[in-house]
């Protein structure tokens, strides 16, 4: 069962690894990211950030879609972390059970504008967010669980 899908450019770090997993009661973290799935050094670093007692799986977006749709992940209380709005969009397009996406962190770089303290978007991100919202997916910005969630559509 998917407990949360989160967009966070840092992928696995203190907020995700400890705060969110504890509040959600997750037992498995799926990092769905094409670049990470091909980078053994990055995978090793992410494994070091994993809280003890949790399963950590790192797969490409396509392999994640296949696993999620096959039912093999149904036995887990799953936190899915993706690196970008585009990755969240790709996942949500092919995994119908995704009904909510949490935006946690996206750094401010060229051609992006800040919509919250820790999240910046490009014009393309806004287009993809509108498409996901149009499909009925709730989009929230919330860095940490004890902070109030904000509707992304109000911010873009």
**Secondary structure class of 132 (helix, strand, coil):** helix
d(C-alpha 120, C-alpha 41), whole Å:
27
Strands (E), 9-118: 28-32, 55-59, 78-82, 100-105, 113-116
Q: Is 9 a catalytic residue?
A: no
Give me the catalytic one of 1, 11, 12, 13.
13
Beta bridge partners of 100: 138
Catalytically active residues, by annotation: 13
């Amino acid at each position: 069962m998917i407990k949360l899908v989160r967009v966070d450019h840092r992928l696995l770090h203190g907020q995700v690894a400890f705060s969110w997993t504890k509040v959600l009661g997750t037992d498995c973290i799926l990092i769905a990211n094409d670049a990470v799935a091909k980078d053994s050094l990055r995978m090793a670093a992410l494994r070091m950030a994993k809280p003890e007692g949790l399963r950590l799986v790192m797969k490409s977006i396509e392999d994640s879609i296949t696993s999620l749709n096959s039912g093999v992940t149904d036995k887990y209380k799953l936190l899915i972390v993706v690196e970008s709005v585009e990755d969240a969009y790709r996942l949500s397009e092919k995994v119908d059970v995704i009904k909510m996406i949490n935006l946690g962190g996206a750094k401010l770089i060229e051609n992006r504008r800040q919509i919250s303290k820790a999240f910046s978007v490009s014009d393309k991100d806004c287009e993809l967010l509108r498409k996901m919202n149009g499909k009925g997916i709730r989009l929230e910005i919330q860095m940490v669980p004890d902070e109030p969630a904000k509707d992304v559509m109000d911010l873009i």
